[in-house]
Chains A and B, each alone.
Chain A
Amino acid sequence: MGNRIDPSFYDQITARNSANIKEKIKRAVVGIAGCGGLGSNAAIALARIGVKKLVIIDFDKVESSNLNRQQFFISDIGKKKADALASFIKKINPFVKVEKHVIKLSLKNIFNVYKDCPIIIEAFDKVSEKAMIVEAFGDKRFKNKFLITASGLAGYSSSNLIKTNKLSKNIFICGDNKNEGNENNGLMAPRVIIAAGHQANMAVGLISKIY
């Protein structure tokens, strides 16, 4: 699809990007670990501003209950999330390369899958998966990469409680660090999108520094 579009259209799509970072964004490669509420929203934000490449990972399929916060359509139900997200991204910005992996990320494969990504956005749902990726950043193979993780984004309490904080020299954490998703503290688009926006914006901040 991208091959048939005039390359100058990229400049038209990204005309309102900040001029001083536009060229850096064009070269940026970002990993997205999980294509659900956080991942689909963060990926689309970064696709809209025209990053060079997104490496997206998710083994799961789209379900009807995902539509309250995740960037999918009714027609996507039953499709692999990574496939559906890649397709949506191409409709927004066909110049963004999408490398998709329909796999379960683990400490066995994460170092290889993300070897070319200097920035990784953690967008998992389960505590065990979030802990796994933070643990991976304790390994020397990831010592020069940056992780943007999320913790605390459920419910509908104040938007202003969601912050971006530095956890270590190369790990940032977005969220209120408190509101965990459960039956009475639902995962809903407004707050999930705020947290995903924090993650995407932190990625842009890092892109401005490392590219």
Chain B
Amino acid sequence: MKVKIELLGLLHIKDVKNNSFIEVKDGSTISDIYNELNILKDHQRFIIPFINGTEVRKSANVNEGDIIKIFLPTGGG
């Protein structure tokens, strides 16, 4: 199935364009997508995922056509 990935903040993932659709396995969770995108475990703990505008946990399942925002805050204040 396909889901849309929106990258916010400092997150840049090789070979994944912002606002692009990626193919993931049926029944995938956010955590599975992080691993699929090769996001390091150290980075994963600071990333906040949203599915269709709702903040979710990493264990949340994704569905066909979902818009997944992945937010890594930028430091400084």
Contact = CB atoms under 8 A, between A and B. Distances in A.
Contact of A134 (B45, B55, B57): B55
B69 A167 contact: yes
Interface residues of A, number: 36
Given A128-B46, A138-B55, A138-B56, A178 B77 contact: no
Contact of B74 (A36, A151, A169): A151
B8 interface: yes
Contacts of B54: 168-169
A68 interface: no
Contacts of B69: 167-168
B55 A127 contact: no
B44 to A, nearest CB: 10
Contact of A130 (B50, B53, B57, B75): B75
A153 B76 CA distance: 7
B77 A38 contact: yes
The interface residues of chain B, by DSSP majority, are classed as loop
Contacts of B45: 128, 131
A151 B77 CA distance: 8
B73 interface: yes
B71 interface: yes
B75 A181 contact: yes
Nearest to A151: B74
Interface of B: 8-10, 45-48, 50, 53-57, 69, 71-77
17 contacts: A36-B77, A39-B77, A124-B77, A125-B77, A127-B46, A127-B73, A127-B74, A128-B45, A130-B73, A131-B72, A149-B73, A151-B8, A168-B54, A178-B74, A180-B76, A181-B76, A192-B77
